[in-house]
Structure 1
Amino acid sequence: MRRARLAGAALLAAAGIMLTGCGGGNTEASDTSGPANITFWGWAEGYEKSVELWNKSHPDIQVKYESITNGGAGGYDKMFTAAKAGKAPCLAQIGYESFSSFLAAGVLQDISEHVKPQRDEFADWVWGNVGVNGKAYGVPVDTAPMAMFYRADLFKDAKIAVPKTWDEFTAAAAKVKAADPSARIMNLPTDPYLYAGFAWQGDAPWFGVKGDAWSVSLDSSANTTVADYWQGLFDKQLVSSYPAFDAALYSAWSKGEVWSEVGPVWSASLIRDNAGGSAGKWAVAPMPRWGSTDAVGNSGGSATAVMKDCDRPKEATEFALWMSTHDDSVSNLIASAAILPASKSGLANSALDAPQSYYGDQPIYQTFREEAAKVNDSWRWGPVMSTTATALGDGLGKVHTKKSTFADALAGAQKGTVDALRAQGFSVSK
């Protein structure tokens, strides 16, 4: 997706980053009397139904939901264009990975005072994805902690224990290949956002703030450790190398040629919907750990952001909080979009305890509920993720040809990201 060109450099505070333009909008208009009419742009399954549920019981605050193209496929461009013209909606669905770009562009509104009464309903690390300096510019909807999806039948038949650490995963990968020379334990993680989840777990940040500047660390020693791990599996021919989200990979899952996928909660529906031939044979276990460190990565999740020109931010926030916490809405979103709720009350929803027939009647979302509390809380997304993801994805996509390595891909993304930040007026620390 193309990012809007950001005007001006970032303004930074000692406690964290405060970006130019944040907190705009007519906040005084929240005192406007009379019914509120709120427009909401998004694309996720189930959002429209939650809006309908709200409107039936809140006649004084009516929400009009407008479905737009997925953010990465043009939806974000539409939001930026509308904001520039002063025609943006009150509410917009924004993925956590893109939130910093919207903050930097100054198109979101500070709603900290409006979320304060329910702030404790969400973990601190989740709030960190929708704001800076402890301020909030949106309400979290879902998170995407990672776990290991695996063919329980094949592991059992081959007498291979489900790995609990990455060292055990390497050993299991060798055993899978020995049991079936045409099979591999997993596909190489070449999608940049999926790969980010492994860096996230490994305490290998990509972005940070130093003094008055962004720091970029994709080529750090911590990131090299994670990259070398996957490069090692590839060099030993212990993983497959299908393109990410490709029909060939889905076929390999169905046929038992790829035995597992370490991925986020939304991989549950991805596997289910694309590998029907192996229904009932999959199970879910916790993500393998780095040694004794009990931390997992996150790969996905989004929020309901309040745009800067919204003239009823209090009412808009009231709806956004309701959508993410009310039992009826959360139950709908779990059923429609297979989300893992970001709110603590949402995580208590009994729908997450339902057995999943595709996964041998295992209540797999209980595992993700437990893992959500172990997400590494130090991760920060940068403001030019479009550039970062494109550069990293291009490099990772060449690994299987042996024309590139994971280290090369990270180095290319490092350079591309730093260049983009400087071109857009940000200070970057050396």
Structure 2
Amino acid sequence: MKHLPSPAARRTLLAIGAGTVAALALAGCSAGGDDSAGGTGDGSFASVEAALEAGGEITYWSWTPSAEAQVAAFEKEYPNVTVNLVNAGTNNDEYTKLQNAIKAGSGAPDVVQIEYYAFPQFALTDAFVDLSAYGFGEFEDDYTASTWNSVTDGDAIYGLPQDSGPMALFYNKAVFDELGLAVPTTWDEYYEAAKAIHAADPNAYITNDIGDAGFATSMIWQAGGQPFQTSGTDVTIDLQDEGSVRWTENWNRLVEEGLVAPTSSWSDEWFRGLGDGSIATLVIGAWMPGNLISGAPDGAGDWRVAPMPTYDGEPASAENGGGGQAVTKQSENPELAAGFLWWLNNSEESVDIFLESGGFPSTTANLSDEEFLADAPEYFGGQKINEVLAAAADDVVEGWSYLPYQVYANSIFGDTVGQAYQNGTDLNDGLTAWQDALVQYGNEQGFAVNK
């Protein structure tokens, strides 16, 4: 789940020894060193239900704000089960510890929180239980297509989605009204609005961007790009495909003309800009409202939500952030761990707790719930913002996939594409540099990488 991620954390290099990812995949080894561990059910949910009743003890790694309350509610419902909740760090901090445990063959939790972009890496190393063995395939319709796709690979199910981040346009209505600007529905209109906002006040910008891998990949996704394709250890990288180039041609004019604020997201300066209107829009995931309300209180009443601008005016969105949980193969009681995971991300009680903490659901029932859709925060002028955000979930472009070493890829984004932001130069050159680095790294790790 994405809550106030540290830009520094996003750039941290995941500490994986050379060859670890591909070597584990090629060897077909499991985290516990025993392929019989986990995933040995008969394809039904019966063994999971029996494990929940029998009880036992499991460990859960999570950094979500709702985790403590969810664990307490679970233990109340299943008093024979003890869940040891551990905050092993956020993002890369946790992934480094998990990868080290996988390499060592011990030390992994029973259930672990994983962002969608990191799922392929750990699934490839055979670290997670295939939950299809426990009948989890029957839950597919409970989740949006994009989030379900993010935790599965063919018939294999490596986790359950928790939250989602369909992208939308968050905009400061007061700024747009003052300048007589219409809310942009296309990227051309967005560019024209950017020029008008900066011309009216040289200290004001339509948005900020200094180079963020998660944002860039989401924008390429929305543009129809499919630059990363994987089949086992065969990887194809094409950051010059039609969608990737479409995004750079669009965003280049904003960067090269100085129309985006050189401000780090999640910084104090960023929140001040959102509060005083000097940063007038955000193209970001649906999990953003709570962060705006708590981090930019001076913007109360001014902000609204609209569909993400598109290239042709037709609805199109992408996921930005979000994740789920998986059961590791080191679990000594995978049925019980699977039962906890099922309750965590599929029970009404747990999802309600998650939503109360500011999360945005991946569950189709919640996205269509009348009470959820009717929510009209005063911060957003009483707008029913979830109507817009839920519609964005339906408009996520199909066909996206991440690299099996996306964690590493994101960590070097600043050294490649980020340089184009710093120098105000062609982002396409930055993507080319990123691609070259990713091809070299992948081949060094034992993947067969084509471009």
* TM norm structure 2: 0.86
* Aligned mates of 1:283, 1:418 — CA distance in 2: 41
* Aligned counterpart, 2:9: none
* Alignment-derived partner of residue 76 in structure 1: 95
Q: 1:386, CA displacement in angstroms?
A: 2.6
Q: Does 1:6 align with 2:21?
A: yes
1:274-300 C-alpha deviation (Å, 9 max, x unpaired)? 322222211111111120442201111
Task: Tell me the residue number matched to 1:297.
Answer: 318
Deviations 1:39-96 (A, max 9, x none): 1111111012111111111134443322221132x11111222333323111000001
Inter-partner Cα distance in structure 2 for 1:116 and 1:242: 43
SS in 2 for 1:147: strand
CA shift for structure 1 position 417: 1.1
* Structure-1 residue corresponding to 2:428: 407
Query: Residues 198-347 of structure 1: matches in 2 within 5 Å?
Result: 198-209=219-230, 213-336=234-357, 338-347=358-367
Say which is worse superposed, 99-108 or 317-326, in terms of deviation. 317-326
Query: What secondary structure does 2:157 align onto?
Result: coil
Deviation at 1:104, TM superposition (A): 2.1
* 176-185 vs 248-257, which moves further: 176-185
Residue of structure 1 equivalent to 2:66? 46
After TM superposition, list the pairs within 5 Å mapping 1:11-50 onto structure 2: 20-21=28-29, 24=35, 26-27=37-38, 28=40, 34-50=54-70
Q: Structure 1 residue 7: deviation in Å?
A: 4.3
C-alpha contact (below 8 Å) 1:145/1:297 kept by paired residues: yes
Q: Does 1:196 align with 2:196?
A: no
Query: Distance between the aligned counterparts of 2:232 and 2:100, measured in 1?
Result: 32
Q: Distance in 1 between matches of 2:195 and 2:385?
A: 27
Partner of 1:157: 178
Please tell me the root mean square deviation across aligned C-alpha atoms, in Å.
2.4
Kept in 2, the 8 Å contact 1:183–1:258? The answer is yes
What CA distance in whole angstroms lies between the structure 2 residues aligned with 1:401 and 1:211? 36
Q: Whole-Å Cα distance in 2 between the matches of residues 90 and 299 of structure 1?
A: 27
Question: Please, what TM-score do these two structures have when normalized by structure 1?
Answer: 0.90
Contact 2:186 2:311 in 1 (8 A): yes
Q: Deviations over 1:405-427 (max 9, x none)?
A: 31222112111111121111111
* Distance in 2 of aligned mates of 1:333 and 1:142: 9
Deviates more, 1:275-284 or 1:397-406: 397-406
Structure 1 residue ranges without an equivalent (≥5): 12-18
What code does the residue aligned with 1:75 have?
E
Kindly provide the amino acid, as one letter, of the partner of residue 192 in structure 1: A
The structural deviation recorded for 1:197 is 1.2
Equivalence for 1:99: 119
1:381 to 2:382 alignment: no
Pick from 51, 56, 64: which aligns with 2:76?
56
What's the counterpart of residue 87 of structure 1? 107
2: distance between equivalents of 1:168 and 1:118?
40
State the alpha-carbon separation in 2 of the partners of residues 51 and 269 from structure 1.
22
**CA deviation digits over 1:358-383, x for unaligned, max 9?**
22222322321111111112110111
CA distance in 2, matches of 1:189, 1:331: 35
How far off is 1:136 after superposition?
0.5
What's the secondary structure of 2:254's corresponding residue?
helix
1:233 Cα offset (Å): 1.6
Q: Which amino acid aligns with 1:127?
A: W
Instruction: Check conservation: 1:126, 1:140, Cα contact below 8 A.
Output: yes
Aligned-partner Cα distance in 2 for 1:333–1:82: 28
Which residue identity lines up with residue 401 of structure 2 in the other structure? Answer: R
Equivalent runs, 1:418-429 vs 2, <5 Å:
418-429=439-450
Paired amino acid for 1:80: Q
* One-letter amino acid of the structure 2 residue matched with residue 26 of structure 1: A
The alpha-carbon distance between structure 1 residues 20 and 226, as it changes in their structure 2 partners (threshold 3 A), is farther
Contact 2:367 2:390 in 1 (8 A): yes
Q: Offset of 1:3 from its aligned partner?
A: 4.7
Q: Structure 2 vs 1, CA of residues 203 and 20 (structure 1 numbering), >3 Å: closer, same or farther?
A: farther
- Distance in 2 of aligned mates of 1:176 and 1:220: 32
Once the two structures are TM-superposed, the CA of residue 25 in structure 1 deviates from its matched residue by: 5.0
CA shift, 1:148, in A, is 0.7
Residue ranges of structure 2 left out of the alignment (5+ in a row): 1-12, 42-46
1:142-178 Cα offsets, whole Å, 9 max, x none, are: 1101111111111112211101111111122222234
